[in-house]
Amino acid sequence: MRIEELFIYPIKSARGQAVKDMKITHEGPEGDRQWMLIDENGKFVSQRTVPKLATVEVFNDQAALTVGFQKMFFKISKNNSFQRKVKVSVWNDTFEAALEPDLYSQGLSQYLGTNCRLVRYAPYSQRRVLSHQADWKPEVRFSDGRPLLLVNTKSLEDLNGRLRTPVGVDRFRPNIVFQGGQAFEEESWKKIKIGEVVFSLPKKCARCAIITIDQKTGEKTGAEPLKTLASYRRDDKGVNFGVLWIPENEGQIKIGDTLEVLE
C-alpha cells in the first residue's frame, strides 16, 4: 500500500495545502492546524458556521504563513513574540493561544462577513488527547480531536460508486491519502507505520455537514455525500469515513512511502 497524497491545513477549516513530504511531530503534521479563527467568545470558527472559510487560501513555509482571498494576500511572520495571550476553546477543551495582529483579523472578518480573530498555537499552548494510557499523554493543536486523518482511495471509490455526482478527496480534508487494497480495511487496523513514524490508537472519523461543502467554492452542494454515506456507514458513534491516528514518535513521511500494517 502506497502513500498517494499529503495535505496540511495551516488555518483550521481554511483551504488545504498539498505537500510532497511532511514532518510528523507529537502534535501532528508540522504546520497543520497551527492557526485558527475564534469568535468574540473565544470559540473556534469552522466551515460548519462559515462555509466561505473553504475559499481562504494558505501557504505555509519556513519563514511565514501566506493567507490569500479576493486577489489579496498577506504574510504572517513566524517570528512571533506570542505575548498577546487569549483563552480559546475547541469543543470541550479550553486553553491559551497567541493572538495575531489585529490587522489580519480585521481583513479576514471583512472577507468572511463575521467578526473573528486569528490565533496561533503557541509554545505555551497545551492541549491533550484523551488517552487511557496513564504514562502517555499525546498532544494535539487545533484539530477537532486527534492529530492526523488517514483516508483510503478505495473507500472513496466505494462511496463515489454510489453517488450520482462523485466527490473529490478534498471533501474529507485528510492529511494522508493512501492507495489501499480494499475499501474501509483501514478501520480494522490497530497500529501502522509510514516512513519513519508509527501511528496507533486509531479512531473512526465521524463526519459532519462540512463534507457537503464544495471546498473550491465554499458553497453547500445539498445533502450529498453525507446522505449516501449515512445509508451504509453509520454506527452508534456517527457516520464514519477515514481514521484518526496518533503518532508514537516524530519523523518524516513522503509521497511514495509504503504503509505497513503492524497490528
Encode the chain (263 residues) as per-residue pLDDT tens digits. 999 999 999 999 999 999 999 999 999 999 999 999 999 999 999 999 999 999 999 999 988 999 999 888 999 988 877 889 999 999 989 999 999 999 999 999 999 999 999 999 998 998 887 655 555 567 899 999 899 999 999 999 999 999 999 999 999 999 999 998 899 999 999 999 999 999 999 999 999 999 999 999 999 999 999 999 999 999 998 999 999 999 999 999 999 999 999 99
53 and 38 belong to one structural domain:
yes
Structural domain of residue 163, as residue ranges? 2-27+130-261
> Cβ atoms within 10 A of the Cβ of 138, count?
19
8 and 138 belong to one structural domain:
yes
pLDDT at 139: 86
- Rounded to an integer, what distance in angstroms lies between the CA atom of residue 120 and that of residue 103? 15
Report residue 228 CA to chain centroid gap.
Answer: 23
193 and 246 belong to one structural domain:
yes
87 and 164 belong to one structural domain:
no
Q: Where are the beta strands (DSSP E) in the chain?
A: 2-8, 17-19, 21-25, 28-29, 35-38, 57-60, 64-69, 72-77, 85-90, 93-99, 117-120, 148-152, 176-179, 191-194, 197-206, 234-235, 238-247, 251-254, 259-261
pLDDT at 81: 74
110 and 174 belong to one structural domain:
no
83 and 137 belong to one structural domain:
no
Q: How many residues can be counted in the chain? A: 263
244 and 143 belong to one structural domain:
yes
115 and 136 belong to one structural domain:
no
* Among candidate residues 93, 111, 95, 115, the one with its CA nearest the CA of residue 37: 115
**Is 125 part of any domain?**
no
Amino acid at 220: K
- pTM for the predicted model, two decimal places: 0.94
13 and 75 belong to one structural domain:
no
155 and 256 belong to one structural domain:
yes
Amino acid at 238: G
CB 40 within 8 A of CB 152: no
Q: Which three cell numbers stand for residue 102?
A: 489585529
42 and 97 belong to one structural domain:
yes
CATH number at residue 202: 2.40.33.20
> Cβ atoms within 10 A of the Cβ of 112, count?
19
Number of domains in the chain: 2
144 and 21 belong to one structural domain:
yes
Domain boundary among 57, 86, 120: 120
Rounded to the nearest 5 percent, the helix, strand and coil shares of the chain are 15, 40, 45
Residues with Cβ within 8 Å of 137's Cβ and at least 6 positions away in sequence, in order, are 128, 129, 131
